[in-house]
């Protein structure tokens, strides 16, 4: 017998699962049944796709039995099985990516954690909520040796050789006090019906049936085995046969989510291509959505045979939050996973699925604001990625985007913005490049606010990349197409409609601009008189194609090659700080004012100063009115 230590993360997860899922402990059975179902899926695929497995007599099934006296519960499948190496790998570590980040997100609030753990998928380890010891005996298909894995869910587990007649896995739980309720026919049947009714393989429950004579006297008992689930693939059924609960139960089974999905779309296509799809949108963003090695959420089946759940090409990347199943009747069963991407049938199914999802998104966005607001809160970012990546569906996606705004609470769309536009307004304005609070406080908004023009607040990092690609927004009204320019108010040239400075003051202040430009040298691209400032003395803007200074700094911090972005400094020609400079000839004083005007404009945009000590020194000098020649300051 060899003893192995659990990976540190497993230890932590075990502890968390046991404490946060305590009140929802019956889900352990769903997890074990779901593992058994996956194991059957995998073997089924091999028997049709790989000649080496052709001779295996395969009658897929899952069996559950229990022993009240011994306090054991057993789940058996005749699926793919595990060898010693698989056991160490699968039942001793957490292979899933992002585990560490996930664990860091956990709090000590059991309710919140149980939601998170639900999203993460608790899996096999959840059985330790109800078991003080677990034994797994398994034999891998195509191999002769069998192995026994044993653990009390503390620091370690043991593996030794064992015997097993055929391929498959038997998991035996030695139940603890909390688990004793599960040695009962009715509670097991109830849990299976609730959580695993639509597992696509039959689940049999074996129990003792007591027998009675005519007078109701117990005469003995006999062993009965009965199928307790529906056992048919839910996605192949007709919608009319299914209830909301059926869809929800299947969703929870495939995602391990503890919450219901936000909505789902079930499609049966008949005609040139025959296929079934069942797609779900989770209520919460899957935890690994923004990890490079995220796990795709759509499984591919061919004629009910599971092919893969690990193909990122089944959906466009911007739809990677979708969960569900595609089952095709037309693909060959032995299709190799490697060439799937080049398959024409599959790419047609994929395109049709994207269209279907977009159509459903459109309907919901137009008819169910509450639902769509939840969607926007979770999936705006992937939709924006779609705007950037998917040129075919770009227009449809732009209509689905929702934004924060200076004019309304909550989410709004381009179309709604347009409906609120001022008479004669030609542009849709937005401000990007920082968090919501900084953006809302930005002096860049002053002129728009003074004129009552709405500005959309773009506070996501992707906005800086995506929004500059949306230069126009078009909307059909009957025969005509209406069109508006989309402009960032933090860019040079976005303020043409506002027109505040008159020609005279422009001429008046020319010498000031020259002095400031000279003092700032190559720290700025240009110094201009602003039409957008009312209260603040200065602000920074960038050229139309440049990212904001804040974003450029962030890209740099992430190690991305970023060209040096220089801002254009705009100054408020009516502000006393600026007008006072008209008659000033003291070059060092002008330099102090120039740097303070630039640095305060950077600070208010949330940009880190490159030399804050210098800024403070100059500011103090200005505040105390100390002569610049006095170097003691």
Interface ranges with ligand ADP (CB under 6 A): 31, 35-36, 39, 77, 79-82, 90-91, 121, 123-125, 169
Angle among Cα 357, 360, 365 to the nearest 5 degrees reads 125
The residue to which tokens 């009658």 are assigned: 59
At its nearest, how many Å lie between ligand ADP and the CB of residue 119? 12
Per the structure block, which two tokens stand in for 619? 């500011």
At its nearest, how many Å lie between ligand ADP and the CB of residue 328? 24
**Minimal CB distance to ligand ADP: which residue?**
123
Per the structure block, which two tokens stand in for 93? 């570590």
Closest to ligand ADP by CB, 81 or 153: 81
Closest to ligand ADP by CB, 80 or 335: 80
At its nearest, how many Å lie between ligand ADP and the CB of residue 256? 7
The strand pair at 263-269 and 275-281 is best described as antiparallel
Give the separation between CA 347 and CA 328, rounded to whole angstroms. 12
Closest to ligand ADP by CB, 92 or 468: 92
Closest to ligand ADP by CB, 39 or 569: 39
**CA neighbours closer than 13 Å in the CB half-sphere of residue 538:** 25
Give the separation between CA 355 and CA 87, rounded to whole angstroms. 42
At its nearest, how many Å lie between ligand ADP and the CB of residue 474? 45
At its nearest, how many Å lie between ligand ADP and the CB of residue 225? 19
Closest to ligand ADP by CB, 169 or 501: 169
Q: Computed over its alpha carbons, how large is the radius of gyration of the chain? A: 32
Closest to ligand ADP by CB, 201 or 318: 201
Residue partners of 531: CB distance under 8 A and separation at least 6 = 447, 495, 498, 499, 500, 501
At its nearest, how many Å lie between ligand ADP and the CB of residue 385? 26
At its nearest, how many Å lie between ligand ADP and the CB of residue 217? 42
Per the structure block, which two tokens stand in for 592? 């102090």
At its nearest, how many Å lie between ligand ADP and the CB of residue 36? 5
Residue partners of 5: CB distance under 8 A and separation at least 6 = 92, 155, 156
At its nearest, how many Å lie between ligand ADP and the CB of residue 342? 28
Residue partners of 497: CB distance under 8 A and separation at least 6 = 425, 426, 427
Indicate left, alpha or beta for 220 from its phi (over 0: left) and psi (-120 to 50: alpha): left
Give the separation between CA 516 and CA 2, rounded to whole angstroms. 77
Closest to ligand ADP by CB, 288 or 570: 288
Closest to ligand ADP by CB, 126 or 501: 126
What would the DSSP string read from start to end of 182-212?
GSSHHHHHHHHHHHSTT-SS-EEEEEEEEEE
Closest to ligand ADP by CB, 138 or 353: 138
Per the structure block, which two tokens stand in for 599? 């640095």
The strand pair at 168-175 and 203-212 is best described as unpaired
């Amino acid at each position: 017998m060899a003893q192995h230590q659990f990976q540190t993360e497993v230890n932590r997860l075990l502890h968390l699962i046991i404490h946060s899922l305590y009140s929802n402990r019956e889900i352990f059975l769903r997890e074990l049944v779901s593992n058994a179902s996956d194991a059957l899926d995998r073997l089924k695929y091999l028997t049709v796709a790989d000649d080496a497995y052709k001779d295996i007599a395969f009658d897929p099934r899952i069996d559950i039995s229990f022993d009240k006296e011994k306090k054991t519960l057993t789940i058996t499948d005749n699926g793919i099985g595990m060898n010693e190496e698989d056991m160490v790998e699968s039942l001793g570590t957490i292979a899933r990516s992002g585990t560490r980040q996930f664990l860091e997100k956990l709090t000590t609030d059991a309710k919140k954690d149980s939601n998170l753990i639900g999203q993460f998928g608790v899996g096999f380890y959840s059985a330790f909520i109800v078991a003080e010891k677990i034994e797994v005996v398994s034999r891998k298909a195509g191999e002769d040796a069998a192995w026994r894995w044993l653990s009390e869910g503390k620091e370690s587990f043991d593996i030794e050789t064992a015997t097993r007649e055929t391929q498959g896995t038997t998991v035996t739980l030695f139940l603890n006090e909390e688990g004793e309720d599960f040695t009962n026919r009715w509670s097991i049947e109830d849990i299976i019906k609730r959580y695993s009714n639509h597992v696509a393989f039959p689940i049999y429950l074996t129990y003792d049936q007591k027998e009675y004579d005519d007078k109701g006297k117990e005469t003995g008992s006999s062993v009965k085995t009965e199928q307790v689930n529906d056992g048919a693939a839910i996605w192949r059924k007709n919608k009319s046969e299914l209830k909301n609960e059926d869809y929800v139960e299947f969703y929870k089974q495939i995602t391990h989510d503890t919450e219901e999905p936000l909505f789902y779309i079930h499609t049966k296509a008949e005609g040139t291509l025959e296929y079934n799809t069942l797609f779900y949108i989770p209520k919460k963003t899957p935890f690994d959505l923004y990890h490079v090695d995220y796990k795709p959420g759509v499984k591919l089946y061919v004629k009910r045979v599971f092919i893969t759940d690990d193909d990122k090409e089944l959906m466009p990347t911007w739809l990677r939050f979708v969960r569900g199943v595609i089952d095709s009747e037309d693909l060959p069963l032995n299709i190799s996973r490697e060439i799937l991407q080049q398959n024409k049938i599959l790419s047609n199914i994929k395109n049709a699925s994207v269209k279907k999802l977009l159509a459903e998104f459109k309907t919901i966005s137009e008819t169910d604001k509450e639902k769509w607001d939840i969607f926007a809160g979770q999936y705006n970012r992937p939709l924006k990625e779609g705007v950037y990546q998917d040129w075919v569906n770009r227009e449809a996606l732009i209509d689905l985007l929702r934004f924060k705004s200076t004019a309304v609470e909550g989410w709004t769309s381009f179309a709604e913005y347009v409906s609120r536009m001022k008479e004669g307004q030609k542009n849709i304005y937005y401000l990007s490049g920082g968090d919501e609070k900084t953006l809302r406080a930005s002096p860049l908004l002053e002129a728009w606010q003074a004129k009552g023009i709405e500005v959309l607040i773009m506070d996501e990092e992707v906005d800086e990349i995506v929004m500059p690609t949306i230069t126009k927004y078009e909307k059909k009204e009957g025969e005509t197409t209406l069109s508006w320019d989309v402009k960032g108010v933090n860019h040079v040239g976005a303020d043409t409609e506002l027109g505040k400075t008159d020609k005279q003051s422009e001429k008046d202040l020319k010498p000031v601009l020259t002095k400031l430009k000279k003092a700032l040298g190559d720290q700025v691209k240009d110094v201009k008189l602003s039409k957008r400032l009312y209260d603040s003395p200065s602000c920074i803007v960038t050229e139309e194609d440049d990212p904001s200074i804040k974003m450029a700094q962030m890209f740099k911090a992430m190690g991305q090659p970023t060209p040096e972005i220089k801002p254009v400094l705009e100054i408020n020609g009516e502000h006393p700080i600026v007008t006072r400079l008209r008659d000033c000839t003291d070059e060092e004083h002008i330099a102090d004012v120039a740097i303070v005007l630039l640095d305060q404009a950077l600070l208010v945009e949330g940009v880190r100063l490159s030399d804050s000590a210098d800024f403070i020194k100059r500011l103090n000098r200005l505040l105390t009115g100390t002569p610049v020649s006095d170097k003691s300051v």
